[in-house]
Structure 1
């Protein structure tokens, strides 16, 4: 199976122009326990004037199950390699990678390896490290993370039902929490366990200072997974970055505040050379 089919690639908007002299391409990368369906409320707006490419990470959504490897995907580096392989296979240039949650750091890793392939980064509720550290607020203690991972391993469906609504963070809109719960539950528990460890035990703080691309950081005003202190840290570490705090709660503004999220991305892309 070729690379695009392996990752269930979909296109919307204008047809991509070949070669590095073409227009921008928005590459939408989803977060843990999700798939490209999570972008459905923002993609039509983004596709009005820009090529939009969405895909499923290995082990997620409609991706070929054989694409996931416990060795390759034990760290975020394996997912970054997948992104670069996808860009190569599709001959994408001037890519604006829009990464949600952990995919924001996957995007940072990919862009640092091949900056000539990318035009910019959009980091949606990013976190370079979830664990608190001396002088750094990640939002979780070591005990918090160990408890989270143990719970995920012992009862994945129960963990999903409890955690997804809390992550979504909009108790007055239970349908959003239910959607994220269903998305989590569709993920193979073995894949989810490995991806959770790659996500919650990662430390990509040092990678931020190596970013040389224009970068937009989208932060929600309340987010239990990536609190405002984390967004401020990412902004401080990436030279010249732009931080926008959305009037939204929870960790998934592309679902809870899609119009505002899409407009922030479109406005940023319009400023790119």
Structure 2
């Protein structure tokens, strides 16, 4: 077991099961965002939580602008964690860009993963008419990056509300804003560019691991058309449209998130997990 990798990504392990389930955060978030979902799976799984380098309690000294200018750098870190823990046929649960990071890791080493569960994933955020609607035009994303550079606090406040929605529960967007603000602005900017200007549509065709796509209703970051596109393109994919609104159902609607993940895994591992 490589303790350096576990320290680098602040890896934490709980649970009683022998099969591993990894929870990957989304952009600007750390493992704490899974606190209302991950504990449910401790009874039947070995639950693994981690932070991306540059986020949470990771080792910021390990940050490399060149490595993390591309999502494949983050995918390599996931594979490093799998290697350090000798994981095979694990379940990978990724929120937003975390789902795409897990997907890229699975293309490189498919034997490491048995199922991919992606919550609000998007292979490309830019519209590419007439056949693809990612939800954004290039100018909108460029303005977002410019706002990060000019007024990071203002950007964090604005984007947290766009992402979270659920305006009747302002504590949710406030937590997300605080998470953004706890990240080094330069690191966050690099990660934002790697996330929002990436195009991994061609990679979808190389995925061999069965997947579940959880698509939120009224999601400003990953519209329904994106989830449906992924479902059409990914082989062996299951698509589920959630009642949850916004882009962070593991925070805003943890009960529904738990139920849909556990229903999918119950089907896959008959008798292994109950729905509580």
- Within-5 A mapping of 1:1-273: 2-14=4-16, 17=18, 24-134=19-129, 135-272=131-268
Structure 2: distance between partners of 1:172 and 1:80: 35
Cα displacement string for residues 195-237 of structure 1 (whole angstroms, at most 9, x for unaligned residues): 0000000000011111111100000011000010100001011
CA distance in 1, matches of 2:124, 2:37: 27
1:21 corresponding residue in structure 2: none
RMSD over aligned Cα atoms: 1.0
Distance 2:100 2:39 in 1: 25
Q: Which sections of structure 2, spanning at least 5 residues, go unmatched? A: 270-276
Counterpart in the other structure of 2:274? none
Q: Distance in 1 between matches of 2:177 and 2:43?
A: 30
Q: Which runs of 5+ in 1 are unaligned?
A: 18-23
Cα deviation for residue 176 of structure 1 reads: 0.3
> How far did 1:178 drift?
0.4
CA distance in 2, matches of 1:95, 1:241: 17
**CA drift at 1:12:** 1.8
Q: What is the alpha-carbon distance in structure 1 between the residues aligned to residue 238 and residue 90 of structure 2?
A: 18
The 1-side partners of 2:75 and 2:255 are apart by 28
Taking the aligned partners of 2:44 and 2:85, their CA distance within structure 1 comes to: 20
Residue 20 (structure 1) aligns with: none
Q: Distance in 2 between matches of 1:153 and 1:105?
A: 25
After TM superposition, give the deviation of residue 45 of structure 1 in Å: 1.0
Q: 2:259, 2:14 → 1: CA distance?
A: 17
